[in-house]
Structure 1
Amino acid sequence: MRIGLVSDTHGLLRPAVLDFLRGSDRIVHAGDICDAGVLEALAAIAPLTAVRGNNDVGPWSQRLHETELLDVGGVRLLVIHDLSQLGSAARDAKAHVVVSGHSHKPLVRRDGDVLFVNPGSAGPRRFKLPISAGELLVGNGEAEPRLVEFQG
Protein backbone atom coordinates (compact mmCIF):
# COMPACT_ATOMS: atom_id res chain seq x y z
CA MET A 1 0.00 0.00 0.00
CA ARG A 2 1.27 3.46 -0.92
CA ILE A 3 0.45 6.39 1.36
CA GLY A 4 1.22 9.80 -0.13
CA LEU A 5 2.51 12.34 2.39
CA VAL A 6 2.19 16.09 2.03
CA SER A 7 2.27 19.08 4.35
CA ASP A 8 2.43 22.85 4.43
CA THR A 9 0.83 23.48 1.05
CA HIS A 10 -0.30 26.94 2.24
CA GLY A 11 -2.94 27.08 -0.50
CA LEU A 12 -0.58 26.01 -3.30
CA LEU A 13 -0.96 22.56 -4.80
CA ARG A 14 1.77 22.22 -7.40
CA PRO A 15 1.06 20.07 -10.50
CA ALA A 16 4.28 18.08 -9.93
CA VAL A 17 3.19 17.24 -6.38
CA LEU A 18 -0.26 16.20 -7.61
CA ASP A 19 1.39 13.96 -10.21
CA PHE A 20 3.59 12.40 -7.53
CA LEU A 21 0.58 11.69 -5.29
CA ARG A 22 -1.42 10.03 -8.08
CA GLY A 23 -1.45 6.28 -7.56
CA SER A 24 -1.52 6.60 -3.78
CA ASP A 25 -3.92 4.30 -1.94
CA ARG A 26 -4.35 7.02 0.70
CA ILE A 27 -3.05 10.55 1.17
CA VAL A 28 -2.09 12.17 4.47
CA HIS A 29 -1.84 15.97 4.76
CA ALA A 30 -0.05 17.10 7.93
CA GLY A 31 -1.57 20.58 8.12
CA ASP A 32 -1.20 24.19 7.02
CA ILE A 33 -3.51 23.50 4.11
CA CYS A 34 -4.89 27.06 4.03
CA ASP A 35 -7.51 26.41 1.33
CA ALA A 36 -10.36 23.89 1.22
CA GLY A 37 -9.71 23.46 -2.51
CA VAL A 38 -6.44 21.70 -1.69
CA LEU A 39 -8.37 19.08 0.29
CA GLU A 40 -10.88 18.64 -2.55
CA ALA A 41 -8.12 18.09 -5.11
CA LEU A 42 -6.32 15.56 -2.91
CA ALA A 43 -9.53 13.70 -2.03
CA ALA A 44 -10.20 13.30 -5.77
CA ILE A 45 -6.99 11.24 -6.00
CA ALA A 46 -7.36 8.94 -2.97
CA PRO A 47 -8.98 8.71 0.46
CA LEU A 48 -7.63 11.65 2.46
CA THR A 49 -6.72 12.16 6.09
CA ALA A 50 -5.77 15.72 7.06
CA VAL A 51 -5.05 17.55 10.30
CA ARG A 52 -5.43 21.23 11.11
CA GLY A 53 -2.27 23.31 11.18
CA ASN A 54 -1.67 26.62 12.93
CA ASN A 55 -2.49 28.53 9.71
CA ASP A 56 -5.71 26.64 9.00
CA VAL A 57 -8.48 29.02 9.99
CA GLY A 58 -12.03 29.65 8.92
CA PRO A 59 -15.18 27.56 8.81
CA TRP A 60 -13.78 24.95 6.40
CA SER A 61 -10.96 24.04 8.84
CA GLN A 62 -13.22 23.44 11.83
CA ARG A 63 -13.96 19.88 10.71
CA LEU A 64 -10.26 19.02 10.91
CA HIS A 65 -8.78 17.61 14.11
CA GLU A 66 -5.35 18.48 15.49
CA THR A 67 -4.35 14.81 15.42
CA GLU A 68 -5.53 11.73 13.54
CA LEU A 69 -4.79 8.07 14.12
CA LEU A 70 -4.84 5.57 11.25
CA ASP A 71 -4.29 1.84 11.05
CA VAL A 72 -3.03 0.94 7.59
CA GLY A 73 -1.59 -2.42 6.60
CA GLY A 74 -0.72 -3.33 10.16
CA VAL A 75 0.98 0.01 10.78
CA ARG A 76 -0.44 2.61 13.15
CA LEU A 77 0.13 6.22 12.03
CA LEU A 78 -0.32 9.28 14.18
CA VAL A 79 -0.67 12.51 12.19
CA ILE A 80 0.01 15.90 13.82
CA HIS A 81 1.01 19.25 12.39
CA ASP A 82 3.52 20.50 14.96
CA LEU A 83 5.78 17.83 16.44
CA SER A 84 6.42 20.03 19.48
CA GLN A 85 2.76 19.42 20.44
CA LEU A 86 3.17 15.62 20.39
CA GLY A 87 3.83 15.01 24.09
CA SER A 88 3.13 11.37 24.94
CA ALA A 89 0.53 10.92 22.18
CA ALA A 90 2.69 8.57 20.06
CA ARG A 91 3.46 6.34 23.02
CA ASP A 92 -0.13 6.46 24.30
CA ALA A 93 -1.48 5.53 20.86
CA LYS A 94 1.19 2.86 20.34
CA ALA A 95 2.04 4.54 17.03
CA HIS A 96 4.60 2.99 14.70
CA VAL A 97 4.88 6.13 12.54
CA VAL A 98 4.38 9.82 13.35
CA VAL A 99 3.73 12.08 10.35
CA SER A 100 4.16 15.80 10.99
CA GLY A 101 4.70 19.11 9.20
CA HIS A 102 5.15 22.70 10.43
CA SER A 103 8.95 23.02 10.18
CA HIS A 104 8.98 22.87 6.33
CA LYS A 105 12.08 20.66 6.74
CA PRO A 106 11.91 17.15 5.27
CA LEU A 107 12.85 14.57 7.88
CA VAL A 108 13.02 10.83 8.33
CA ARG A 109 14.34 9.57 11.65
CA ARG A 110 13.75 6.69 13.97
CA ASP A 111 13.51 7.06 17.75
CA GLY A 112 13.29 3.62 19.30
CA ASP A 113 10.35 1.82 17.74
CA VAL A 114 8.79 4.97 16.26
CA LEU A 115 9.49 6.28 12.76
CA PHE A 116 9.14 10.07 12.41
CA VAL A 117 8.43 11.44 8.94
CA ASN A 118 8.00 15.07 7.92
CA PRO A 119 7.41 15.36 4.18
CA GLY A 120 8.52 19.01 4.29
CA SER A 121 6.66 21.77 2.50
CA ALA A 122 4.92 21.22 -0.83
CA GLY A 123 3.71 24.83 -0.96
CA PRO A 124 5.48 28.15 -1.45
CA ARG A 125 9.24 28.01 -0.94
CA ARG A 126 10.32 29.21 2.49
CA PHE A 127 13.85 30.52 2.85
CA LYS A 128 16.16 28.03 1.09
CA LEU A 129 14.25 24.95 2.19
CA PRO A 130 13.32 22.43 -0.50
CA ILE A 131 9.86 21.87 -1.91
CA SER A 132 9.07 18.28 -1.06
CA ALA A 133 6.53 15.55 -0.39
CA GLY A 134 6.84 11.91 0.51
CA GLU A 135 5.39 8.46 0.61
CA LEU A 136 5.17 5.49 2.92
CA LEU A 137 5.18 2.04 1.39
CA VAL A 138 3.31 -0.11 3.88
CA GLY A 139 3.05 -3.88 3.99
CA ASN A 140 3.34 -6.76 6.43
CA GLY A 141 3.34 -4.36 9.37
CA GLU A 142 6.32 -2.40 8.06
CA ALA A 143 6.57 1.15 6.68
CA GLU A 144 9.30 2.29 4.30
CA PRO A 145 9.52 6.09 3.86
CA ARG A 146 10.73 8.02 0.86
CA LEU A 147 11.00 11.80 0.43
CA VAL A 148 11.08 13.55 -2.93
CA GLU A 149 12.18 17.10 -3.78
CA PHE A 150 10.58 19.16 -6.55
CA GLN A 151 11.82 22.06 -8.64
CA GLY A 152 10.08 25.31 -7.90
Structure 2
Amino acid sequence: MKKILLISDTHSFIDAQILKFVKQADEVWHAGDIGDLKVTDAIKELKPLRAVFGNIDDQYARAEFPLDAKYEVESVRIWMTHIGGYPNNYNRRIREELKTDTPTIFISGHSHILKVQYDKKLNLLHLNPGAAGNHGFHKVRTMLRFELSAGTVKNLEIIELAQRG
Protein backbone atom coordinates (compact mmCIF):
# COMPACT_ATOMS: atom_id res chain seq x y z
CA MET A 1 0.00 0.00 0.00
CA LYS A 2 1.17 3.53 -0.82
CA LYS A 3 -0.18 6.78 0.61
CA ILE A 4 -0.18 9.46 -2.08
CA LEU A 5 -0.45 13.24 -1.71
CA LEU A 6 -1.51 14.92 -4.96
CA ILE A 7 -0.90 18.64 -5.38
CA SER A 8 -0.85 21.12 -8.24
CA ASP A 9 -0.52 24.79 -9.07
CA THR A 10 1.71 25.82 -6.18
CA HIS A 11 3.03 28.78 -8.23
CA SER A 12 6.22 29.03 -6.10
CA PHE A 13 4.33 28.71 -2.80
CA ILE A 14 4.96 26.12 -0.12
CA ASP A 15 4.29 26.41 3.58
CA ALA A 16 4.25 24.39 6.80
CA GLN A 17 0.63 23.43 6.21
CA ILE A 18 1.49 21.70 2.90
CA LEU A 19 4.64 20.14 4.36
CA LYS A 20 2.65 18.65 7.25
CA PHE A 21 0.69 16.57 4.71
CA VAL A 22 3.84 15.80 2.70
CA LYS A 23 5.32 14.16 5.82
CA GLN A 24 2.25 11.90 6.14
CA ALA A 25 2.51 10.57 2.57
CA ASP A 26 4.69 7.83 1.09
CA GLU A 27 4.95 9.72 -2.22
CA VAL A 28 4.00 13.20 -3.43
CA TRP A 29 2.77 13.84 -6.96
CA HIS A 30 2.78 17.40 -8.35
CA ALA A 31 0.61 18.04 -11.43
CA GLY A 32 2.44 21.13 -12.67
CA ASP A 33 2.73 24.90 -12.35
CA ILE A 34 5.41 24.37 -9.75
CA GLY A 35 6.90 27.84 -10.07
CA ASP A 36 10.16 28.13 -8.17
CA LEU A 37 11.96 24.78 -7.82
CA LYS A 38 12.32 25.50 -4.09
CA VAL A 39 8.83 23.94 -3.88
CA THR A 40 9.87 20.58 -5.32
CA ASP A 41 13.24 20.71 -3.54
CA ALA A 42 11.45 21.09 -0.18
CA ILE A 43 9.19 18.14 -0.98
CA LYS A 44 12.09 15.96 -2.19
CA GLU A 45 13.91 16.55 1.11
CA LEU A 46 11.05 14.77 2.85
CA LYS A 47 9.49 12.26 0.43
CA PRO A 48 9.84 10.79 -3.07
CA LEU A 49 8.34 13.10 -5.68
CA ARG A 50 6.85 12.59 -9.13
CA ALA A 51 6.02 15.77 -11.03
CA VAL A 52 5.27 17.27 -14.43
CA PHE A 53 5.90 20.80 -15.59
CA GLY A 54 3.08 23.24 -16.23
CA ASN A 55 2.55 26.20 -18.51
CA ILE A 56 4.07 28.73 -16.07
CA ASP A 57 7.16 26.66 -15.38
CA ASP A 58 10.55 27.86 -16.64
CA GLN A 59 13.32 26.04 -18.46
CA TYR A 60 14.73 24.66 -15.19
CA ALA A 61 11.49 22.91 -14.24
CA ARG A 62 11.09 21.72 -17.84
CA ALA A 63 14.59 20.26 -17.74
CA GLU A 64 13.88 18.39 -14.49
CA PHE A 65 10.30 17.22 -15.06
CA PRO A 66 8.44 15.87 -18.12
CA LEU A 67 5.30 17.19 -19.82
CA ASP A 68 3.62 13.81 -19.26
CA ALA A 69 4.44 11.22 -16.62
CA LYS A 70 3.19 7.67 -17.10
CA TYR A 71 3.97 5.14 -14.40
CA GLU A 72 2.55 2.31 -12.32
CA VAL A 73 2.29 2.19 -8.54
CA GLU A 74 0.74 -0.74 -6.67
CA SER A 75 -0.58 -2.14 -9.98
CA VAL A 76 -2.40 1.14 -10.71
CA ARG A 77 -1.55 2.79 -14.05
CA ILE A 78 -1.16 6.57 -13.83
CA TRP A 79 -0.95 9.30 -16.46
CA MET A 80 -0.23 12.76 -15.10
CA THR A 81 -0.02 15.96 -17.15
CA HIS A 82 -0.71 19.61 -16.36
CA ILE A 83 -3.18 20.61 -19.08
CA GLY A 84 -5.28 17.53 -19.67
CA GLY A 85 -8.91 18.50 -19.40
CA TYR A 86 -11.50 16.19 -17.90
CA PRO A 87 -14.04 13.55 -19.00
CA ASN A 88 -15.92 14.56 -22.16
CA ASN A 89 -13.57 17.54 -22.53
CA TYR A 90 -10.01 16.19 -22.68
CA ASN A 91 -7.26 18.28 -24.21
CA ARG A 92 -6.92 17.66 -27.94
CA ARG A 93 -3.23 16.77 -27.54
CA ILE A 94 -4.01 13.68 -25.48
CA ARG A 95 -7.58 12.75 -26.38
CA GLU A 96 -6.82 9.94 -28.85
CA GLU A 97 -3.93 8.52 -26.85
CA LEU A 98 -6.16 8.28 -23.77
CA LYS A 99 -8.40 5.93 -25.75
CA THR A 100 -5.55 3.63 -26.79
CA ASP A 101 -3.31 3.88 -23.70
CA THR A 102 -5.92 4.25 -20.98
CA PRO A 103 -4.61 4.62 -17.42
CA THR A 104 -6.46 3.68 -14.24
CA ILE A 105 -6.05 7.25 -13.00
CA PHE A 106 -5.70 10.33 -15.22
CA ILE A 107 -4.36 13.38 -13.36
CA SER A 108 -4.29 16.99 -14.50
CA GLY A 109 -3.99 20.39 -12.88
CA HIS A 110 -4.17 23.84 -14.52
CA SER A 111 -7.80 24.77 -13.83
CA HIS A 112 -7.34 25.46 -10.09
CA ILE A 113 -10.67 23.63 -9.71
CA LEU A 114 -10.64 20.49 -7.59
CA LYS A 115 -12.34 17.71 -9.49
CA VAL A 116 -12.80 13.98 -8.87
CA GLN A 117 -14.74 12.40 -11.70
CA TYR A 118 -15.12 8.88 -13.02
CA ASP A 119 -15.05 8.55 -16.80
CA LYS A 120 -17.47 5.73 -17.64
CA LYS A 121 -16.56 5.78 -21.34
CA LEU A 122 -12.85 5.22 -20.77
CA ASN A 123 -13.16 3.42 -17.43
CA LEU A 124 -10.72 5.72 -15.62
CA LEU A 125 -10.70 7.97 -12.58
CA HIS A 126 -9.90 11.62 -13.31
CA LEU A 127 -8.29 13.63 -10.52
CA ASN A 128 -7.49 17.34 -10.38
CA PRO A 129 -6.32 18.44 -6.92
CA GLY A 130 -7.16 22.10 -7.46
CA ALA A 131 -4.48 24.59 -6.42
CA ALA A 132 -2.27 24.46 -3.33
CA GLY A 133 -0.66 27.85 -3.98
CA ASN A 134 -1.76 31.43 -3.43
CA HIS A 135 -1.77 32.59 -7.07
CA GLY A 136 -5.01 32.30 -9.06
CA PHE A 137 -8.73 32.78 -8.77
CA HIS A 138 -9.47 29.87 -6.41
CA LYS A 139 -10.72 30.84 -2.96
CA VAL A 140 -9.53 27.81 -0.95
CA ARG A 141 -6.19 26.03 -1.39
CA THR A 142 -6.76 22.31 -1.95
CA MET A 143 -4.97 18.97 -2.37
CA LEU A 144 -6.00 15.32 -2.60
CA ARG A 145 -4.70 12.28 -0.79
CA PHE A 146 -5.47 8.63 -1.30
CA GLU A 147 -4.07 5.15 -0.98
CA LEU A 148 -3.13 2.74 -3.73
CA SER A 149 -3.20 -0.97 -3.01
CA ALA A 150 -3.34 -4.04 -5.26
CA GLY A 151 -4.72 -2.17 -8.27
CA THR A 152 -7.30 -0.11 -6.39
CA VAL A 153 -7.72 3.45 -5.13
CA LYS A 154 -8.84 3.70 -1.52
CA ASN A 155 -9.59 6.35 1.10
CA LEU A 156 -9.65 9.33 -1.27
CA GLU A 157 -9.75 12.57 0.73
CA ILE A 158 -10.07 16.23 -0.18
CA ILE A 159 -7.76 18.45 1.84
CA GLU A 160 -8.79 22.07 2.23
CA LEU A 161 -5.80 24.02 3.48
CA ALA A 162 -6.92 27.61 3.97
CA GLN A 163 -8.22 30.63 2.16
CA ARG A 164 -5.93 31.77 -0.63
CA GLY A 165 -3.80 34.81 0.05
The CA distance in 2 between the partners of 1:110 and 1:27, in whole Å, is 22
The CA distance in 2 between the partners of 1:120 and 1:60, in whole Å, is 20
Larger radius of gyration: 2
**Number of the residue aligned with 1:71:** 72
Does residue 87 in structure 1 map to residue 95 in structure 2?
Answer: yes
Does residue 137 in structure 1 map to residue 147 in structure 2?
Answer: yes
Q: Shift of residue 94 of structure 1?
A: 2.9
CA shift in 2, pair 1:62/1:143, >3 Å: same
RMSD: 1.5
CA shift in 2, pair 1:36/1:94, >3 Å: same
CA shift in 2, pair 1:28/1:128, >3 Å: closer
Instruction: List alignment gaps of at least 5 residues for structure 2.
Output: 85-90
- TM-score, normalised to structure 1's length? 0.92
| 1:99 partner letter | I
Q: Shift of residue 33 of structure 1?
A: 0.2
| 2:117 partner letter | R
**Number of the residue aligned with 2:126:** 116
Q: Shift of residue 10 of structure 1?
A: 0.1
Number of aligned positions between the proteins: 152
**Number of the residue aligned with 2:27:** 26
CA shift in 2, pair 1:46/1:91, >3 Å: farther
Query: Identical aligned pairs, as a percentage?
Result: 29
| 2:114 partner letter | P
Q: Any idea what SS the aligned residue of 1:56 has? A: coil
Q: Which runs of 4+ in 1 moved over 6 A?
A: none
Instruction: List alignment gaps of at least 5 residues for structure 1.
Output: none
Q: Does structure 2 retain, via aligned residues, the 8 Å contact 1:104–1:126?
A: yes
Q: Does structure 1 retain, via aligned residues, the 8 Å contact 2:113–2:138?
A: no
- TM-score, normalised to structure 2's length? 0.85
